[in-house]
Copies of this chain bind each other. A is one copy, B any other.
Amino acid sequence: MNNPAIPYKIYLHEHEMPGQWYNMRADMQKKPAPLLNPGTKQPMTLEELSGVFCTELARQELDEATPYVDIPEEILKFYKMYRPSPLVRAYCLEEKLKTPANIYYKFEGNNTSGSHKLNSAIAQAYYAKKQGLKGVTTETGAGQWGTALSMACSYFDLDCRVYMVKVSYEQKPFRREVMRTYGASVTPSPSDTTAIGRKILQEHPGTTGSLGCAISEAVEAATTTEGYRYVLGSVLNQVLLHQSIIGLETKAALDKYGIVPDMIIGCAGGGSNLGGLIAPFMGEKLRGEKDYRFIAVEPASCPSFTRGKFAYDFCDTGNVCPLAKMYTLGSGFIPSANHAGGLRYHGMSSVLSQLYHDGYMEARAVEQNAVFEAAEQFARVEGILPAPESAHAIRAAIDEAIKCKETGEAKTIVFGLTGTGYFDMVAYQKYNDGAMSDFIPTDKDLEPGFASLPDLD
């Protein structure tokens, strides 16, 4: 142990919890490109966005100027049920690796949704309730977001309709039951409850669904049902704003002990965790006050940062959502069927895409056997069974700690442990059985996705 004065887990007191979210866009010189109306190809107005999202959330989506946004009292009250989350010093992992590096992880899995998704779900449910809505619709793939939203809606007594990718609905009945326990209705997607669902079923009978298709159904259901709006768990600017609570708490905990990280590592699917974790640190970097390395880690089989194009693209399969400028593999991209580790969205947050494009952060892709190897190593010494998504960040953190061992540098590494893997044991079983295969798409494999990109950039 390098510094006995630093406890295993740094918990903030409730009165030390951040009372505001931080909006990175306010400090970006080059702002992310605006969302475009899929019909007119013009920037979405507040009025247009308010047809899809709650009005206050639409406002947050468009607000590039306000750096700090007060967290409403009701949301703070809910946060206090599971936050502040611990910042843990990975003493046992350091010892196992025999590294001089100091490793910390911000653990967001200590709540029933099992991940950081609850931070934004409760905010979106709150604004929906405040607007007097009856309910919200959303999609879910693996189920973390759907679970988080159903918990949030149950708290505010709001109706919650989840379109769950059919293959997950059937293969992950337990996730479905958690959502039902919280009172949500869960519909396997594609379904015959929407026009787009019926169209897809007719064109692709027997399809097991996709995230892009479930998004289209959820948006249609929201925009055609009185008193409903659509909510989304990642990618959007508003989600990154809410998730900044992760980074703000992390920074407050580090500051309390005078710790300055050298690098901050997060897994990246749509960018909600990474964007939230790095937010206040990136703010310092953007304002020229401090420098940090930021590392996004994505699966080699869904490499939007490292092999995608920086272009306007559709966010969903049905092309009913606004267009976003982002690193994307194309809305027609489908990850290999052998990919087990989540993070399978074709695009990436516009904010993070712009920051990556402008050289403020790095990205790397890792293969899944290496990811599960890191997951198992971490679980055995640190006690927590990580979500496969989170294990991407663990992989990179371990790799960096091993580099430190080689160079003898005592760098400080912070990574985001976004959640737990209790509902991902099918993937672990595959790994335990030695039946997990790696897959790096060839350029040819990526072509169909890129072919689906609109001609707009």
A223-231, A335-343, A379-387, A394-402: which lies at the B interface?
Answer: A379-387
**Is there contact, CB below 8 Å, between A383 and B111?**
yes
Nearest Cβ on chain B to A447's Cβ, whole angstroms:
37
**Is there contact, CB below 8 Å, between A112 and B420?**
yes
Q: How many residues of A contact B (CB 8 A)?
A: 43
Q: Does A82 contact B (CB under 8 A)?
A: yes
Which among B13, B14, B178, B432 is the interface contact of A425 at CB below 8 angstroms?
Answer: B178
Report the bound CA distance from A182 to B9 in whole Å. 23
Which among B111, B114, B177, B423 is the interface contact of A432 at CB below 8 angstroms?
Answer: B177
Nearest Cβ on chain B to A142's Cβ, whole angstroms:
14
Which among B92, B154, B183, B379 is the interface contact of A112 at CB below 8 angstroms?
Answer: B379
Chain B residue nearest to A14 (CB atoms) is B7
**Is there contact, CB below 8 Å, between A81 and B173?**
no
Q: A80-B8, A111-B384 are in contact. Are A422 and B425 (CB under 8 A)?
A: no
**Is there contact, CB below 8 Å, between A428 and B383?**
no
Main secondary structure of the interface of A (DSSP, over half): helix
Nearest Cβ on chain B to A120's Cβ, whole angstroms:
15
Q: Does A110 contact B (CB under 8 A)?
A: yes
Q: Does A155 contact B (CB under 8 A)?
A: yes
Q: Does A429 contact B (CB under 8 A)?
A: yes
**Is there contact, CB below 8 Å, between B11 and A11?**
yes
Q: Does A180 contact B (CB under 8 A)?
A: yes
Q: A81-B92, A422-B423 are in contact. Are A385 and B13 (CB under 8 A)?
A: no
1-34 of chain A: CB within 8 A of chain B = 7-9, 11, 13-14
Q: What are 10 contact pairs spanning A and B, CB under 8 A?
A: A7-B13, A8-B14, A112-B379, A112-B383, A112-B420, A154-B380, A155-B383, A173-B425, A177-B432, A178-B428
Name A's B-contacting residues (CB within 8 A). Answer: 7-9, 11, 13-14, 78, 80-82, 88, 92, 110-112, 114, 151, 154-155, 173-174, 177-178, 180-183, 376, 379-385, 420, 422-423, 425-426, 428-429, 432
